[in-house]
Amino acid sequence: MKRIITMILLVASLTSMVGRQGRQITGKVTSASDGGPILGVNVILEGTSIGTVTDINGEYSLKIPASGGVVVFQFIGFKSHKVVVRKESVIDVVLHESVAELSEIVVVGGTRSGRRKERKKSRVMYDSENSFNVTSPSVSPVYRRVLTPSQPNTEDYAAIEENTFRNPLNNPLSTFSIDVDAASYSNVRRFLTQGQQPPKDAVRIEEMVNYFTYDYKQPKGNDPFSITTEISSAPWNKDHRLIHIGLQGKNIPTKDLPPSNLVFLVDVSGSMNSPNKLPLLKSAFRLLVDKLRPEDHVAIVVYAGAAGEVLPATTGSEKDKILNAMDQLSAGGSTAGGAGITLAYNIARQNFKKNGNNRVILATDGDFNVGASSNQSMEDLIKDKRDEGVFLTVLGFGMGNYKDSKMEILADKGNGNYAYVDNILEAQKVFVNEFGGTLFTIAKDVKIQVEFNPTKIKAYRLVGYENRLLKDEDFNNDKKDAGELGSGHTVTALYEVIPVGIKSQFLVDDLKYQKTQVAEEAHSSDELMTVKLRYKKPNEDQSSLIVKELKDEGNRLDKTSDNFRWSAAVAAFGMELRDSDYKGSITHKDILELAKNARGEDKEGYRAEFIRLIHSNELLVKR
């Protein structure tokens, strides 16, 4: 009898253990409207803090009790969906879009005057009762709709005055610095996925276009990048032409990249004390650490009321030591940003690697409010250290008091890039998928200068790049700072031009008292424009020049490459979000169709996500 009882107790114990261990369910979440996968859907075991999010393929994996439970699928702009799980192991879900879901959320959008307008009394906020363990790379914060008075929003964006059309007779040259930053796109995505339209000055069109990679040819020879050009009609104005200029950085395998000396500068002030800031930052940091090699070194500096070193330079082979130091961080106190940056640069200089990648990585919400915090003082420090060979990368986190304008300036001055990390999948893009481009510069001070043939073009307009414009004489000045290009990075620029003979509201009347002499060869040339590029190798001070001429072959829009049509769709969407004076006659449906037809291979699913953002904005506009 004792033996039987013992066996019964053992079986019961094993059964209980299995129940506690649980089992895994997997599946895919798609949209009912187009059947496409949905990225970032919150998948939650009801009544618990157990959850995950769907990946770029709409797929998820969730551990639940062996006995089953109720799983909830939530994504803003879609009806929530509950599934009672019994014995199933694979559960695919189709979500239906819902205007009602969006109408419960605060919409704070950019008006034509740039002012923000509160439309509802509710807002999107973090659900601390159902928070996740965001130190795990596979998990992102969950948001829910909470009816509560809206809190003040102190986010800060630099004002943008859109580029206007210029007459090549009076302004024959267009000169600007390249921009590989993509922070604007992920920040715009954050607004739209929370049921809000972004402020117009948060929309930098060149950063939206350059968020995506393009299928340009790899460079040949000694130049670190190739140049691709294409021209066709502008989708938003059929009488105008659109010129596409693409740069492709040489893709260097990770094993061949120079050793890194990284100083991770972490903002642990009180403003970072929310789940989508410091906890998400820790998750992102894990992804970076996983990519480190034994020859790489990482140090960690923090700043709040004061600045301090929490981890001296440590080799990439000691990953546990690095991660343990990061895991111990917590937020609290005021923000002595200037002191933290100074200390980080000093440590970077102490561990300087000749011919290596020496870089400070600043992770913050940009809320510098104590100490040497003026933009100018930090800019001067960052420029000095840049000239000494220590570059700066800036990672933005959070919402509500996000200081975009300040962080963009710091990254520009530091020969580095600027990314906004709104979820763990964006961290993966920055630190895993684009690891080389994010951290390893292959060309610096890259400038573009375009000369237009006035016998072919009546007026031209650079689409975006408003804060990257240079004086024409800056192009040949090697002392003038410009943008950097990383390993494998692509850069895309667009010009909208008005051909000679086309009437347009954007044209200025011909001058009465003054005429400009046009070279005779311009009349006989079939060239539309000449593109010139200057760049320096990372460790050199003298620039090299590349020149390329462009002719208009009269290609129709439907005969252009996916690269051309995709960049045009993103630019058109950016102009729609900004309510641009130049958005022309293109409709929301036109933008959607243009993007769908140019999606291409889309291995990572970023283009599918963009198409879904167009859908989300359509629902917001309809309300």
Go through 534-569 and write b for each residue having 16 or more CB atoms within 10 A of its CB, e for each that does not.
Answer: bbbbbeeeebeeeeeebebeeeeeeebbbbbbbbbb
Is a pLDDT exceeding 80 seen at residue 563? yes
Q: Which residues contact 540 (CB under 8 A, 6 or more apart)?
A: none
| pLDDT band at residue 539 under the 50/70/90 scheme | confident
Is a pLDDT exceeding 80 seen at residue 461? yes
Claim to verify: residue 103 and residue 212 sit in the same structural domain: no
Claim to verify: residue 280 and residue 227 sit in the same structural domain: no
Asked whether residue 5 is domain-assigned, the answer is no
Claim to verify: residue 262 and residue 387 sit in the same structural domain: yes
Is a pLDDT exceeding 70 seen at residue 144? no
Is a pLDDT exceeding 70 seen at residue 597? yes
When comparing pLDDT for 370 and 142, which is higher?
370
What is residue 333's predicted lDDT score, i.e. its pLDDT? 60
Claim to verify: residue 300 and residue 435 sit in the same structural domain: yes
Claim to verify: residue 236 and residue 308 sit in the same structural domain: no
Number of alpha carbons in the 13 Å side-chain half-sphere of residue 255? 0
Kindly report, residue by residue over 233-290, the tens digit of the pLDDT. Answer: 999 999 999 999 999 999 888 788 889 999 999 988 887 888 888 888 888 888 889 8
What is residue 152's predicted lDDT score, i.e. its pLDDT? 57
| pLDDT band at residue 114 under the 50/70/90 scheme | very low
507 secondary structure, DSSP code: P
Residues 302, 336: Cα–Cα separation, whole Å: 10
Residues 477, 542: Cα–Cα separation, whole Å: 10
β-pairing verdict for 23-31 and 93-95: parallel
Kindly report, residue by residue over 506-527, the tens digit of the pLDDT. Answer: 888 877 787 777 877 877 788 9
What is residue 305's predicted lDDT score, i.e. its pLDDT? 62
Asked whether residue 572 is domain-assigned, the answer is no
Sheet of strand 391-396: strand arrangement: 307-315, 297-303, 260-267, 357-364, 391-396, 418-420
Strand partners, 393: 361
Asked whether residue 578 is domain-assigned, the answer is no
Rounded to an integer, the average pLDDT of 357-383 is 73
What is residue 387's predicted lDDT score, i.e. its pLDDT? 83
Claim to verify: residue 267 and residue 415 sit in the same structural domain: yes
301 secondary structure, DSSP code: E
β-pairing verdict for 357-364 and 391-396: parallel
Claim to verify: residue 107 and residue 235 sit in the same structural domain: no
Residues 338, 253: Cα–Cα separation, whole Å: 35
Residues 360, 346: Cα–Cα separation, whole Å: 10
Asked whether residue 4 is domain-assigned, the answer is no
Asked whether residue 220 is domain-assigned, the answer is yes
Indicate which CATH number applies to the domain containing 332: 3.40.50.410
- What is the count of structural domains for the chain? 3
Is a pLDDT exceeding 70 seen at residue 329? yes
When comparing pLDDT for 163 and 623, which is higher?
163
Claim to verify: residue 267 and residue 332 sit in the same structural domain: yes
β-pairing verdict for 123-126 and 483-486: unpaired
Indicate which CATH number applies to the domain containing 130: 2.60.40.1120
DSSP letter string, 539-597: T-SS-EEEEEEEE-----GGGS-HHHHHHHHHHHHHHHHHT-TT-TT--HHHHHHHHHH
Claim to verify: residue 359 and residue 413 sit in the same structural domain: yes
**Residue whose tokens read 């005429």:** 515
In angstroms, the Cα distances linking 17 to 14, 20, 375 are 5, 5, 58
Asked whether residue 595 is domain-assigned, the answer is no
Residues 123, 520: Cα–Cα separation, whole Å: 63
Asked whether residue 513 is domain-assigned, the answer is no
- H-run or E-run covering 184: helix 183-193
Residues 314, 308: Cα–Cα separation, whole Å: 16
**Residue whose tokens read 């650079």:** 462
Find out whether 260 and 289 touch, Cβ atoms under 8 Å: no
Q: Is 426 helix (H, G, I), strand (E, B) or coil?
A: helix
Claim to verify: residue 454 and residue 431 sit in the same structural domain: no
Kindly report, residue by residue over 7-54, the tens digit of the pLDDT. Answer: 444 444 444 444 456 899 999 999 887 788 887 788 888 887 687 878
Is a pLDDT exceeding 70 seen at residue 173? yes
What is residue 336's predicted lDDT score, i.e. its pLDDT? 55
Residues 509, 496: Cα–Cα separation, whole Å: 19
439 — phi, psi (to 5°)?
Answer: -110, -15
Q: Which residues contact 41 (CB under 8 A, 6 or more apart)?
A: 29, 53, 54, 58, 60, 73, 74, 75, 78, 95
Residues 20, 377: Cα–Cα separation, whole Å: 57
Asked whether residue 606 is domain-assigned, the answer is no
In the numeric block, which tokens belong to residue 203?
């929309």
Rounded to an integer, the average pLDDT of 402-428 is 82
Which of the listed residues 146, 164, 189 is the one where a domain comes to its end? 146
Residues in the chain: 623
In angstroms, the Cα distances linking 367 to 97, 189, 342, 403 are 36, 21, 17, 6
Neighbours of 469 (CB within 10 A): 13
DSSP percent split of the chain into helix, strand, coil, nearest 5: 30, 30, 40
Residues 591, 585: Cα–Cα separation, whole Å: 11
Claim to verify: residue 243 and residue 272 sit in the same structural domain: no
The residue segments making up the domain with residue 215 are 173-252+442-506+522-562
Claim to verify: residue 448 and residue 368 sit in the same structural domain: no
Report the share of the chain in percent with pLDDT over 90.
42
Q: Which residues contact 324 (CB under 8 A, 6 or more apart)?
A: none
Neighbours of 256 (CB within 10 A): 8
Residues 573, 464: Cα–Cα separation, whole Å: 13
Rounded to an integer, the average pLDDT of 112-140 is 32
